[in-house]
Amino acid sequence: MIEIKDLIPPIGFVQRYYCDDCSGQLELKFVEYDKEVSGIRIRISGFPVLTCLKCSKEYLPDLSRLALLSCHERGLAAHSNKFSSIRKKRKNDFGFTDVGFLYDPDDYFYIPGLFRQHNIGFLTPVYFNIEVLFKFDNLPRYKVKYASRTYGTIYTDEGYISFGINKNEKVIMWLGDIAKLPKSEQHYLRSENVESDHSLASEFYDGQIECKFTDLSIEDKLFKARSEFFDAAFNKFECKLAHLDKEVMDVARNLNAPIVDTPKERKFIADALNKIYLESIDNRALLSLLEAKGITIAASGSLKRMQALLEELFPDDDIATILMPFYVLYDLRVAYSHLTPESKAIQTIKGVEERLELSKNSTLIDIYSKLTDELTKSYSRMTKLMKR
């Protein structure tokens, strides 16, 4: 049983979007509420609660507390020990745009931290299929820049808009930000717009609402460095030297440091890193740039073409050394994916260890840690070259 006094928070209390017990992020859900509140049995269908994604503990948003107080008061007024209701969904149109975006006003009112006394509805989350990012990424007049694997910004000629990716692979943007875009861009977004899944727990929420920026993982640092390099290259060449598709993004988001060293894990790690950081390079774009500069090379691989382009632009820099980790990654995939005889694979791994300055017979964990660090440094050095 819940007492009325338990529904009245202490002065200064602010409901957060994090669990008090385990610090896990919460998620808005609509449940069949059935509990006794100070002697009155209250049943409400579709009642908004906040549920911890880690430990499943439930919390009441402020408006849900007020609703229970009102239901209890109505039960007392009717001299009844029971109160039942079917909650009606809000149908607010916040009026920011006349493009008919799908969104749920309950998200704005019940997810902590979104409601403001001014610009009512601005921070309403709007959800999209993840394919919306690839549409923007593949058009020359747009840039998609990532601060991590699940948080980034879309840049247009008219401005920019931040986005996040939640655990259900849905892209999230704020309604008020969307409304600032030209109508043509809004209609473009609307084509991938989907119903809210009420899951706002993400780096996007942490950064935009809580101003909370946790230390990036080594995977996020590397992915961010990749994004910064290709953004700098776009500014220099006015063309994109890399692309991302859904398969690459899926691999990137699911990539974590290995915790075991097995043949299966070696192949997975090598294939995943190769797909994200080598296969996503646009080889045809590199060829076009080389041809424009009158550079002809026999090799047709993207790494060799990248090296030739950078050596032409920066002849005083040791480009081969800068690109060394990428060649190591290529060799690692060849060795770990059983693309060569075992004896040659052993020699290849030996070469990987030597170039990474690792001891003989290093584990996958050691190689992964050093390689991702060296790849990040390489991207940073190339970014500085592009900005020189």
Contact 225, 267 (CB under 8 A): no
Helix, strand, coil % over all residues of the chain, rounded to 5: 45, 15, 40
pLDDT of residue 257: 93
pLDDT value of residue 31: 95
Nearest to 248 by CA among 331, 340, 144: 144
Spatial separation of the C-alpha atoms in residues 172 and 176, rounded to whole Å: 12
Could you tell me where the DSSP H helices lie in 27-166? 62-77, 105-110, 131-137
- Encode 289-305: b = buried (16+ Cβ within 10 Å), e = exposed: bbeeeeeeeeeeebbbb
- Residues 6+ positions from 308 with CB-CB distance below 8 Å: 290, 295, 297, 299
Sequence letter at residue 140: P
| 149/218 Cα distance (integer angstroms) | 11
- The DSSP call for residue 369 is H
Q: How far apart are CA 243 and CA 133, in angstroms?
A: 11
Which residues are within 8 A (CB) of 279 and not within 5 positions of it... i.e. 6 or more apart?
A: 248
Q: What is the pLDDT of residues 236-282, one digit of tens each?
A: 999 899 988 888 899 999 999 999 999 999 999 999 999 999 999 99
Instruction: Give CA–CA dist 211/18, Å, rounded.
Output: 14
Give the per-residue pLDDT at 42.
Answer: 93
Helix 283-292 and helix 302-313, axial crossing angle in degrees, nearest 10: 40
Give the per-residue pLDDT at 190. 94
**C-alpha angle with apex 60: 57 to 66, nearest 5 degrees?**
165
CA distances from 39 to 36, 64, 79, 83, 88 (A): 6, 18, 11, 11, 25
Q: What is the pTM of this model?
A: 0.86
Q: Torsions phi, psi of 154, nearest 5?
A: -100, 125
Q: What is the β-pairing status of strands 143-148 and 170-174? A: unpaired
Q: pLDDT of the chain along its 388 residues, tens only?
A: 788 888 888 888 888 999 999 999 999 999 999 999 999 999 999 999 999 999 999 999 999 999 999 999 999 999 899 999 999 888 888 889 999 999 999 999 999 999 998 899 999 999 999 999 988 888 777 889 999 999 999 988 778 899 999 999 999 999 999 999 888 889 989 999 999 999 999 999 999 998 887 788 999 999 999 999 999 999 999 989 998 888 889 999 999 999 999 999 999 999 999 999 999 999 999 999 999 999 999 889 999 999 999 999 999 999 999 999 999 999 999 999 877 778 888 999 999 999 999 999 999 999 999 999 999 999 999 999 999 8
Beta strands 40-52 and 82-86: pairing type? parallel
What is the rounded CA–CA span in Å between residue 196 and residue 87? 18
List, in sequence order, the alpha helices (H) in 203-245.
Answer: 203-208, 218-237
